[in-house]
């Protein structure tokens, strides 16, 4: 009967992994099943009356499925579910917790471009883009999604090993009165207060101030 047919152990740890609203469903294979397990995936807009099958993730043997397109409206919330099949047996449908793209996504660090003069460095910060369906698609900056987005910028003087921090609301920072002919390394982090989200710090971008011509 149905119970026997669906007596395969369930997929485990079914959850969304989201970065810049690229929303990938992940799971682990059922315990003790080894190779040959196939899966199918469905998802639901929370509050909608029907689950929707994801054809591209039907009878797949990988343990992830890209649902970015189906969950791109970040003003809605979602559930997704996975079922496993092996040798004529299947598991139950196993669901995620409720997924809120706006609060449950992780944010990449900003990109940082640095230029210098003799006594100053200029930093231009760019927030990452929200995931989009195709490269030709209209880019949407996370700045538009999170209007309260700010940057924390760290400036390290490589000679003195001292690090300063700046809180920047717009996307440029100029640090004047620096020592000529000195290496400075800049890295930046995104900070959002509502909802409370922050990225890691970017890698360091180092640049040297120009040498003092009069020296």
Partner 1 sequence: EDALLRAPQNISILSTNMKHFLTWSPVIVRGETVRYSVEFQGEYEREYANGSWIPICECSFITATVCNITEDVSATVAYNLRVRADVGTRRSKWGTLKGFFNPITTSLTPPLMKVIADGYHLLVELEDMGPAFQFCVLYWKKGQESRMQQKMVKEVSFVVHLDTMEAGPDYCVKARTYLEVINRSSNFSQPQCVRAQGARSVWL
Partner 2 sequence: SVTEVRSGFTAIKANIQGRDPIRTLSILSYPHSLHKVQSSDRCCIAHHLFNFYVDKVFKHCKTEDSYINRKVSSIANSFLSMKRKLEHCHEKNKCICRQESTEKFNQILANYEGLNVTSAAIKSLGELDILLDWMEKSP
Please report, as ranges, the residues that interact with partner 1 according to CB under 8 A.
152, 154-155, 157, 160, 162-167, 175-179, 191, 193, 196
- Token digits of residue 38: 């196939």
96 binds, among partner 2, partner 1, none (CB under 5 to 8 A by kind): none
Count of positions (residues) in the chain: 215
Shortest distance in whole angstroms from residue 151 CB to partner 1: 10
Kindly calculate the radius of gyration of the chain based on its CA atoms and give it in whole angstroms. Answer: 24
Which is closer to partner 1, CB of 8 or CB of 192?
Answer: 192
50 binds, among partner 1, partner 2, none (CB under 5 to 8 A by kind): partner 2
Which is closer to partner 2, CB of 1 or CB of 194?
Answer: 194
> For the sheet containing 172-175, what is the strand order?
111-116, 121-126, 172-175
The answer for 200, left when phi > 0, alpha when psi is -120 to 50, beta otherwise, is beta
Which is closer to partner 2, CB of 50 or CB of 213?
Answer: 50
Nearest CA-CA partner of 11 in 69, 54, 61: 61
- Token digits of residue 52: 């929707």
Residue-wise burial string across 153-162, b where 16 or more C-beta atoms lie within 10 A, e elsewhere: bbbbeeeeee
Which is closer to partner 1, CB of 10 or CB of 157?
Answer: 157
Summarize as ranges the residues that interact with partner 2 (CB under 8 A): 44-50, 75-77, 79, 95, 97-98, 100, 102-103, 147-148, 193-196
Cβ–Cβ < 8 Å for 8, 90: yes
97 binds, among partner 2, partner 1, none (CB under 5 to 8 A by kind): partner 2
Shortest distance in whole angstroms from residue 170 CB to partner 2: 16
């Amino acid at each position: 009967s149905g119970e026997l047919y669906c007596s395969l152990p369930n997929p485990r740890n079914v959850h969304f992994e989201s970065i810049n609203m690229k929303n990938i469903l992940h799971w682990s294979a059922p315990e003790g099943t080894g190779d040959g397990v196939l899966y199918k995936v469905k998802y639901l807009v929370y509050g909608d009356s029907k689950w929707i099958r994801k054809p591209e993730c039907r009878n797949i043997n990988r343990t992830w499925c890209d649902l970015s397109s189906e969950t791109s409206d970040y003003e809605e919330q979602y559930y997704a579910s996975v079922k496993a099949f092996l040798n004529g047996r299947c598991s139950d449908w196993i669901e995620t917790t409720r997924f809120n793209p706006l609060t449950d996504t992780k944010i990449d660090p900003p990109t940082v471009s640095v230029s210098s003069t003799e006594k100053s460095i200029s930093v231009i910060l760019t927030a990452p883009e929200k995931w989009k369906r195709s490269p030709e698609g209209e880019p949407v900056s996370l700045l538009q999604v999170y209007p309260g987005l700010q940057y924390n910028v760290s400036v390290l003087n490589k000679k003195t090993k001292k690090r300063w921090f700046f809180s920047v609301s717009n996307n440029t920072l100029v640090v004047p009165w620096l020592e000529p002919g000195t290496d400075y390394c800049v890295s930046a982090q995104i900070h959002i207060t509502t909802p409370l989200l922050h990225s890691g710090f970017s890698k360091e971008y180092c640049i040297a101030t120009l040498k003092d011509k009069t020296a």
